[in-house]
Amino acid sequence: MISSNKNIARISISLIFITLGILHFTIVEKFILIVPPIIPYAKGVVYISGIFEIIGGIGILIPKLKRPAAFGLILLLIIVFPANIYMALYNIQLGGILNNPIVQWLRLPLQIILIWWVRWCTKD
């Protein structure tokens, strides 16, 4: 039986990914700013990553899909990592707390925490 802590963590991270995925469609221009210029079709990349965040966020709530969904979310976190590096290196201004360079650099190890969180709460 899965502990209630894991269920709470899984629901929480699911809501985070679903919310972030939706934000990819509502504030797309902000997300485009952190796509490194070497990546073509930035808007399409933002939409695709948003779709995968939503699908992964829903998937980890479904017992039979939680492991493949977790794998997909972890892969996505690795794939989008260069955007976080780009944001920190070039101090991309997105507004609010994300304008602070310290916060931008702290987002980098946050990816590792998110990877651990997804893995931990979906592992039986």
- List, for residues 37-79, the tens digit of each pLDDT value: 999 999 999 999 999 999 999 999 999 999 999 999 999 999 9
| H/E segment holding residue 110 | helix 101-122
103 contacts 97 by C-beta, under 8 angstroms: yes
Q: Which of the pair, 51 or 96, is modelled with greater confidence?
A: 51
Percent of the chain with pLDDT over 70: 98
Q: What is the DSSP string of 73-93?
A: HHHHHHHTHHHHHHHHHTT--
- Domain residue limits, the chain: 4-122
- Calpha distance 33→17 (Å, rounded): 20
